[in-house]
Amino acid sequence: MRKGGVSSIVPAGAFPKFTFNEEEHNFGDIRDGDIVSHVFRFTNTGDAPLIISKATAACGCTVPQWPRQPIPVGGSGEIKVQFDSSNKPGMQNKVVTITANTESKVKKLLIRAQVNPRS
């Protein structure tokens, strides 16, 4: 028998679930060197606390920030994504991959921008 421990019991088959207001954002036309950001808002519509273990992008030009604390059932949170367009000419499509304790384990968000040269 354990003493002094605290346990959290979650029913089998209970998972948290992301419900985002939007899963992609288009910044439209921006200039080379602009740094832009967007906040993706979500609610945990699942049956268990949501824990985001990491959020990554394939390029160092795209930096996600995410909540480090568990999001309770019915709670909400934000993932802020910043994009540095320096030396990234043309149409840019960047994917942010979120790893969490959801049933699917991974969620992808997309940002887009048309990066035009500075005149």
Tens of pLDDT, residue by residue over 20-36, are 999 999 999 999 999 99
Tens of pLDDT, residue by residue over 50-93, are 999 999 999 999 999 999 999 999 999 999 999 999 999 999 99
Is 4 among the domain residues? Answer: no
Domain that holds residue 56: 31-116
Is 3 among the domain residues? Answer: no
Tokens (6 digits) for 45: 């519509």
CB 9 within 8 A of CB 96: no
One-letter amino acid at 95 equals: V
Does this model's pTM top 0.95? My answer is no
CATH number of the domain enclosing 70: 2.60.40.10
One-letter amino acid at 65 equals: Q
